[in-house]
Amino acid sequence: MGATKSHIFTTTQNELAQVAKVLAHPARIAILQHISKQEGCICTDLVEEIGLAQPTISQHLNEIKKIGLLKGTFEGKNLCYCIDQDRWLELKQLMNTFFSNITLNCC
Amino acid sequence: MGATKSHIFTTTQNELAQVAKVLAHPARIAILQHISKQEGCICTDLVEEIGLAQPTISQHLNEIKKIGLLKGTFEGKNLCYCIDQDRWLELKQLMNTFFSNITLNCC
DNA sequence: ATTTAACATCGTAATATTGCAATATATAAT
DNA sequence: ATTATATATTGCAATATTACGATGTTAAAT
């Protein structure tokens, strides 16, 4: 025991939870907001901006990447990437649908 | 180390992450969806519906309660509660604002 | 007053997350 | 080729989450 029992839930329920999990850390919220503030792709020092150690930032970026939210060049000296528009709108839609489908017919 | 460094982030960033954290489990998504399907307040067997043990469900309900999303009677034999409308709309708004404020000006 | 039913709490095991130092890798610059 | 710089990976410690059995609590029913 201790692990989430994903198999007893629907695909959508698991998907929603997975997206929420990525957003469930202030560092990842901050990273997304910071990328969004940039003009184009981000190539600057996210480590200084956020205030966590480099491996920690790298780890958080990986979580965001896992759900397909980042695209760009990931090799070489300068990492240049940005938010994947299509995926972002997809997830925004998913969240919005969830929030809208909860009907409040009580109290 | 191992604990989230909340103090280096803004109130909004922490708040968003906290809300997302509550949604970051399929059981809690399922619970919210199930309450929403009911006509009025929920007084039925959530344990059977979801398929997790009673203490586990109780724990998840507590997480949802912590961010003020449930209201109703919590004492006695029959637990009757529902989603707090004002709070729900507040959180929906918070999430929506976050998603809308991320601008996609790249690639 | 006892029993029963519904839910909460406690204790604990399994697993996941967070964070960072150390180290590896990969490219650009010299 | 060597050095410098940027990011990834590894390994590990601290903490948090998930799940449930056992037990406690509360109130209605008998």
CA distance B60 to B28: 6
Is the backbone of residue A72 left (phi > 0), alpha (psi -120 to 50) or beta? left
Name the residue of chain B whose CA is nearest to A25's CA.
B17
Check A106 against B82: CB less than 8 A apart: yes
Closest CA to B32 of A69, A33, A106: A106
Is there a domain that residue B3 lies in? no
Is there a domain that residue A3 lies in? no
Check B21 against A24: CB less than 8 A apart: yes
Is there a domain that residue A103 lies in? no
Is there a domain that residue B83 lies in? yes
Check B16 against A39: CB less than 8 A apart: no
CA distance B27 to A4: 9
Nucleotide nearest to B4 (CA to C1'): C18
CATH number of residue B33's parent domain:
1.10.10.10
Segment (H or E) for B11? helix B11-23
Range of the domain at A47: 10-96
Terminal CA-to-CA distance of chain A, rounded, Å?
37
Asked if B4 has any chain A CB less than 8 Å from its own CB, the reply is yes
The 10s digit of each residue's pLDDT in A57-99 is: 999 999 999 999 998 776 556 778 889 999 999 999 999 999 9
Is there a domain that residue A5 lies in? no
What percent of chain B has pLDDT above 90?
72
> φ and ψ at B75, to 5 degrees?
-110, 170
Other CB atoms within 10 A of residue B7 CB: 8
Cβ-contact B32, B3 below 8 angstroms:
no
Cβ-contact A15, A87 below 8 angstroms:
no
CA distances (Å), B81 to each of A100, B56, B61, B74, B105, in order? 20, 18, 10, 7, 44
Bridge partners, B4 (sequence order): none
Is there a domain that residue A2 lies in? no
The spacing between the Cα labelled CA in A53 and the C1' in C22, in angstroms, equals 13
Nucleotide nearest to A43 (CA to C1'): D6
Interface of A with B in 23-42 (CB under 8 A): 23-30, 32-33, 36, 38-41
Residue A56 pLDDT greater than 90, yes or no: yes
Nearest 5°: CA angle at B91, between A71 and B55?
100
Bridge partners, A70 (sequence order): A83
Count contacts between A and B (CB, < 8 Å).
Answer: 151
Mean pLDDT of chain A: 90
Residue B76 pLDDT greater than 70, yes or no: no
Is there a domain that residue A106 lies in? no
Domain count across chain B: 1
> Which band of pLDDT confidence, cut at 50, 70 and 90, is reported for residue A45?
confident
Is there a domain that residue A55 lies in? yes
